[in-house]
Structure 1
Amino acid sequence: MANERLVYIVDDDDAVRRSAAFMLRHAGFRVRPLESGIAFLKLAKNTEPGCVLLDVRMPEMNGLEVQRQMIREGIDMPVVILTGHGDVEIAVQAMRVGAINFLEKPYEKEHLLAAMGEAFERLENSDLKEMASSEAKVRLACLTGRERDVLDGLSIGHPNKTIAYDLGISPRTVEVYRANMMEKLRVRSLAEALRICFSAEEGETITSKPVQN
């Protein structure tokens, strides 16, 4: 039941916390707003499990740092990242660290609810991550070389124009390859495609650039 599901809203912007809390409460979720990553980490190890709606740009400790600390402390809660406009590269880094989805501000209510629904599906089905890992390489095998090139560019946070320049093709052609790639992978969002891509990188060492606050 949705009313048994707890969402930790971690954002330094009071207006964002209040807005997200309002939408989630009206959808039947319980919420725990927190003003910083530090405040969340102080209670996370000894609190009720749930999912985390985590802003990526916060003072003192940004969202990527919070995610890494969660891993170090064994805090196994699914994370949905909140990013600002143009922060896709940072969102990609967050997904590499382990976030299952990202939302770009301002976001629509239905996108928020869909992302949190997916997060709780992951929380409640411990086999979901393993199943995704075992299937990812098979699903990627259906892509052509150019479609995979486009996905690889997206997986490091590059916009279509940069991918087009790197591949020596037009941005419009990148859009076509991107649409074909998503259709073949049977995904509706970039976040879903990235999860498949990162699952296929199982065992590889991944490095991320620091985020400037």
Structure 2
Amino acid sequence: MVDQNDGAAELICIVDDDEGVRDSLDNLLRSTGYKVRSFGHPAAFLACDVADAAACLILDVKLGDVNGLDFQQELVDSDAHVPVILISGHGDIPMTVRAMRAGAVTFLTKPFEEGDMLAAIGEALTRDRSRRDANRVEDGLHARYDALTARERDVFGLVTSGLMNKQIAGRLELSEVTVKIHRGNMMRKMEADSLADLVRMAETLRVRENVSRYVRRDVGGSKP
């Protein structure tokens, strides 16, 4: 039985047009402690209101009028990040290569061992947790940045572009003391302990791409 902290709260979705395979997987996963939803066609999966919550998608390659590999690529192209496990009764090397290049966790050939499927699901859930954790961190970072004043954002961008307080003061036509105050408030709101922290945040936020109007060619020297 899966521990509550190791996947019981996470949803596994199955897309396979073979009812027998769906039922078999459903029984295996529920007996192991997972929540499961199964679908006979990709359109049914996409129409389901829990699709975005899926932590793992088990996807058959042969789905009647739909190729599972094509559907996997559609998910990638639409920026859907659910980890995918491909299954097929007629897998071959080109299929496997295509699936893995598109980011599949693995490609299992039917009939597969229960242990292999459970191991693949474990890897998929680890990937999904990591992605969701990273998203939460980034969302928090954006929220902190949004809480900055316009002037604090200016200082953020210039500091992480390599300018000293005196140079920033000249760019923004402020006193150096005022820049230090804005810089201190900005670092406190961003929960940054060092310039290195700020630089990493700026890379994530792409802040430095937006400060070219302030940064001149003499970043390391004096004004022209």
Structure 2 counterparts to residues 29-178 of structure 1, below 5 A: 29-43=34-48, 47-126=52-131
Taking a change above 3 Å as real, the CA distance of residues 80 and 72 of structure 1, as seen in their structure-2 partners, is: same
Q: Deviations for 1:67-100, whole angstroms, at most 9, x for unmatched residues?
A: 1211232211000000224433212211111211
Task: Please say if residues 3 and 29 of structure 1, whose CA atoms lie closer than 8 Å, have aligned partners that are also in contact.
Answer: yes
Taking a change above 3 Å as real, the CA distance of residues 86 and 60 of structure 1, as seen in their structure-2 partners, is: closer
Whole-angstrom distance in 2 between the partners of 1:55 and 1:26: 21
Paired residue type of 2:109? E
Whole-angstrom distance in 2 between the partners of 1:82 and 1:49: 17
Structure with max Cα Rg: 2
Residue 63 of structure 1: CA displacement?
A: 0.9
Q: Secondary structure at the match of 2:100?
A: helix
Whole-angstrom distance in 2 between the partners of 1:66 and 1:32: 18
More divergent stretch after superposition (29-38 vs 70-79): 70-79
Taking a change above 3 Å as real, the CA distance of residues 62 and 110 of structure 1, as seen in their structure-2 partners, is: same
Residue 45 of structure 1: CA displacement?
A: 8.0
Residue 26 of structure 1: CA displacement?
A: 0.8
Task: Please say if residues 13 and 54 of structure 2, whose CA atoms lie closer than 8 Å, have aligned partners that are also in contact.
Answer: no
Taking a change above 3 Å as real, the CA distance of residues 18 and 126 of structure 1, as seen in their structure-2 partners, is: same
Bigger relative contact order (CA 8 A; separation at least 6)? 1
After superposition, the CA RMSD in angstroms is: 2.3
Task: Please say if residues 41 and 66 of structure 1, whose CA atoms lie closer than 8 Å, have aligned partners that are also in contact.
Answer: no
Could you list the structure 1 runs, at least 4 aligned residues long, displaced by more than 4 angstroms after superposition: none
Unaligned runs of 5+ in 1: 129-213
TM-score, with length taken from structure 2: 0.53
Whole-angstrom distance in 2 between the partners of 1:39 and 1:127: 24
Q: Secondary structure at the match of 2:66?
A: coil
Whole-angstrom distance in 2 between the partners of 1:114 and 1:56: 20
Whole-angstrom distance in 1 between the partners of 2:37 and 2:65: 20
Q: Secondary structure at the match of 2:76?
A: helix
Unaligned runs of 5+ in 2: 134-224
Query: Percent sequence identity over matched residues?
Result: 38
Residue 39 of structure 1: CA displacement?
A: 1.5
Residue 3 (structure 1) aligned to one of 8, 33, 44: 8
Task: Please say if residues 38 and 61 of structure 1, whose CA atoms lie closer than 8 Å, have aligned partners that are also in contact.
Answer: no
Task: Please say if residues 85 and 104 of structure 2, whose CA atoms lie closer than 8 Å, have aligned partners that are also in contact.
Answer: yes
Q: Secondary structure at the match of 1:7?
A: strand
Taking a change above 3 Å as real, the CA distance of residues 70 and 90 of structure 1, as seen in their structure-2 partners, is: same
Task: Please say if residues 37 and 62 of structure 1, whose CA atoms lie closer than 8 Å, have aligned partners that are also in contact.
Answer: no
Q: Deviations for 1:98-155, whole angstroms, at most 9, x for unmatched residues?
A: 2111111001111110000000001011399xxxxxxxxxxxxxxxxxxxxxxxxxxx
Whole-angstrom distance in 2 between the partners of 1:4 and 1:116: 13
Paired residue type of 1:109? E
Whole-angstrom distance in 1 between the partners of 2:125 and 2:52: 17
Whole-angstrom distance in 2 between the partners of 1:19 and 1:8: 13
Paired residue type of 1:82? I
